[in-house]
């Protein structure tokens, strides 16, 4: 029960941060990702997504749109998020 409350609170916060990320382009990509995938992610993945968002909306947009090559990420979830976003644009 405690984990479910935490997960739901985290999803709500991440959906908000995804919808109001900055640029229109990244808002669109992040909002689609949040609506399609956040509910199905585990707590560790959600926490990873929260850190992913700190990389900045322009960086994320550039990676998703192939304007810049993907750098090496310690957290392999980042690459998974980007690949899922590419499928949703």
Cα angle, residue 28 at apex, residues 22 and 32 outer, rounded to 5°: 125
Q: How many of the other CB atoms lie within 10 Å of CB of 16?
A: 11
State how far Cα 39 lies from the chain centre: 12
C-alpha to C-alpha distance for 55 and 53, rounded to whole angstroms? 5
pLDDT value, residue 45: 97
Domains detected in the chain: 2-88 (1.10.150.250)
Which pLDDT band holds residue 21 (cuts at 50, 70, 90)?
A: confident
pTM metric for this prediction? 0.91
Instruction: Please name which of 88, 49, 47, 52 lies closest in space to residue 71, comparing C-alpha atoms.
Output: 52
């Amino acid at each position: 029960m405690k984990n479910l409350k935490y997960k739901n609170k985290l999803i709500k916060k991440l959906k908000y941060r995804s919808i109001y990320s900055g640029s229109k382009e990244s808002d669109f990509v992040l909002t689609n990702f949040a609506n399609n995938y956040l509910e199905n992610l585990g707590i560790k993945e959600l926490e990873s997504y929260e850190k992913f968002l700190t990389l900045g909306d322009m960086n994320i947009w550039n990676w998703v749109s192939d304007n810049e090559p993907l750098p090496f990420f310690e957290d392999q979830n980042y690459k998974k998020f980007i690949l899922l976003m590419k499928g949703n644009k």
